A and B are shown apart, each in its own frame.
Chain A
Amino acid sequence: MSRSKRIRSLSRIAGTVLKHAFLIIMSIISIYPVLWVITLALSPGESLVTPNFVLGFIPVPATPTLAHFIANPSSTCLPERTFRSGLRTA
């Protein structure tokens, strides 16, 4: 393999690695606050600043619960509100 070909293939690999690194970082930035929302939804209590972390930064519910989905007083209106949202979107 000639030197120029090797350089070209190396630069192509480096480009691919850079692209994936950039996309992975952007994906993490994109979903991180959403993971936090999901964690809070599945955690007991009302606080916004009490998640547990996996690997030091991934938020996970310490004691997962569906209490917020069941005990929420407004959940009785959920079908009606969902219908209204759908109607408005349509």
Chain B
Amino acid sequence: MSKKSGAGRLRGSGWLFILPALAGLIFLVLYPFAYNIYVSFTNMSVYHIRNYTWVGLKNYVFVLTSPDFFTVLRNSVVWTVANVVPTVLLGLVLAFVLNSKVKGKSIYRLFMIVPWAMPSFITLLIWQSMYNTQYGVINALLGEVGIAPINWLNDCNWAFVGIVIANIWLGYPFMMIIFSGALQSIPNELYEAASIDGAVGFRQMRYVSIPLIRPTILIAVLLGSIWTFNNFNSAYLITGGGPGICTTILITEAYKDAFGGTFAFAQAATYAFLAFIILFIPGIFWNRYTGLTRRAT
């Protein structure tokens, strides 16, 4: 009896310990998330800011049948893949190079972390000016090697390439840092044992380093995909989603709906919830396929 009440007391104090975190989770994550879902089923806009009413699936029908939705969705998917793949590869290559015997690696590492130290919205505006067709430095440099000026900001395809390049520039330092950390955590004895077995250079990387940092790579790909899919700054500040809707992704479309003049908050909430579902389903598959959380627990 006394044992039982002791266990009960323990369970009670356990709840007490997690209560602050639980409260934070409810108020900072679950409530806004649930509110967003609720708003997506209403007609909340600047005209119905307080007296909004339930409209059922009307917003979802409107968004999913709008002629631009699938273009915007395709842009979002291409944007995510075009960013995550090079960012992860570049981060991985740099981490390997900086983890090898290279003189001055701390200086190189310092230089490469610099993009992180600047506020992204400032550097993105700088990228915008560098892409200027007439005065931008990128066209000036291309002109030096005999390449004709590119209309970076007004050509549909080049605008997309432009925002992808800028976002890769912003994103690879993070990947480099986490892969460097993962590589440095591999015990040296494993490399020594591998070299005794005749594995040196590329083989060590292939059979020792890559398998051991695989969980980190998988997490980096998942996080990178989520962040990039929902990345507003790079996709909006350089081109404003244009020309037309060439560089518009779901999250910039949500912003435009909410604050771009129409103040259609319910539609913006619908886009946000659709973006969540689009990310959630592949995220679950990725988790199942790679066993990420299984490994963690």
A interface residues (Cβ-Cβ under 8 A, vs B): 16, 19-20, 22-23, 26-27, 29-31, 33-34, 36-37, 40, 48-51, 53, 56-57, 59
Q: Is the CB of B137 within 8 A of A30?
A: no
Complex Cα distance, B111 from A33, in Å, reads: 12
- Residue B79 CB within 8 A of the other chain: no
Complex Cα distance, B137 from A40, in Å, reads: 14
- Residue B147 CB within 8 A of the other chain: no
B126 interface neighbour in A26, A33, A57, Cβ under 8 Å = A33
Q: Is the CB of B123 within 8 A of A33?
A: yes
B interface SS class: helix
Q: Is the CB of B118 within 8 A of A23?
A: no
Given the known interface contacts A48-B125, A59-B137, the answer about A23 and B108 at a Cβ–Cβ threshold of 8 Å is: yes
The size class of the interface chain B forms with chain A is 20 to 34
Q: Which residue of chain B lies nearest to A41 when distances are taken between CB atoms in the complex?
A: B122
Given the known interface contacts A49-B135, A49-B136, A56-B144, the answer about A34 and B169 at a Cβ–Cβ threshold of 8 Å is: no
Stretch at the interface among B69-77, B94-102, B186-194: B94-102
Chain B 86-115 near chain A by CB (<8 Å), digits 1 or 0: 000000001001101010000010011011
Given A27-B111, A30-B173, A33-B126, 16 other A-B residues pairs in contact with their CB atoms under 8 A = A23-B108, A27-B112, A29-B169, A30-B112, A30-B115, A31-B111, A34-B114, A34-B115, A34-B117, A37-B122, A48-B128, A49-B129, A49-B135, A51-B137, A57-B141, A59-B137
